[in-house]
């Protein structure tokens, strides 16, 4: 039986794409894996929150977030680049392959939604967001 590490599986998935497939690459300062629980201690959902450092505010601010639906979305350590990487097919942008890199990673278990709370500091419509897929060029 051949064992494939998660890093190797991601490598193989990345390079098994068709040559024309697009990969969106973003860099953020912090990735948070958040496990949100209700008041009774029941797990409600898991999410990945992407933060940028704001020198003006002296704090991390939410850039974007995604629900964590599959183990393959969980960020892993890239020892060669000395950072953390999340790679997944993002259905919110036409199922494009997305790669988000960060210098830091944290995992939290909360009874509140940090992404929702952060809207008090930076409204959702003011966030930078992860980059969008390029629109295909059509010829006449």
pTM of the model: 0.79
The backbone region for 128, taken as left when phi is positive above 0, alpha when psi lies in -120 to 50, beta otherwise, is alpha
Structure confidence at residue 55 (pLDDT): 96
Structure confidence at residue 112 (pLDDT): 96
Structure confidence at residue 19 (pLDDT): 45
CB atoms within 10 A of CB 118: 19
Q: What is the pLDDT along the chain (140 residues), one digit of tens a residue?
A: 334 444 444 444 444 445 446 799 999 999 999 999 999 999 999 999 999 999 999 999 999 999 999 998 999 999 999 999 999 998 887 888 999 999 999 999 999 999 999 999 999 999 999 998 775 534 44
Domain boundaries along the sequence of the chain? 22-121
């Amino acid at each position: 039986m051949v064992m494939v590490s998660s890093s190797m599986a991601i490598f193989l998935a990345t390079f098994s794409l068709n040559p024309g497939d697009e990969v969106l690459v973003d860099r953020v300062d912090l990735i948070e894996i958040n496990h949100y629980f209700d008041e009774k201690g029941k797990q409600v959902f898991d999410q990945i929150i992407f933060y940028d450092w704001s020198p003006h505010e002296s704090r991390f601010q939410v850039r974007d977030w995604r629900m964590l639906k599959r183990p393959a979305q969980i960020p892993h350590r890239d020892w060669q680049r000395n950072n953390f990487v999340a790679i997944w097919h993002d259905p919110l942008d036409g199922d494009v392959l997305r790669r988000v890199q960060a210098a830091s990673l944290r995992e939290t278990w909360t009874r509140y939604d940090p992404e929702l709370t952060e809207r008090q500091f930076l409204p959702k419509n003011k966030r930078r967001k992860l980059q969008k897929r390029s629109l295909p060029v059509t010829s006449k």
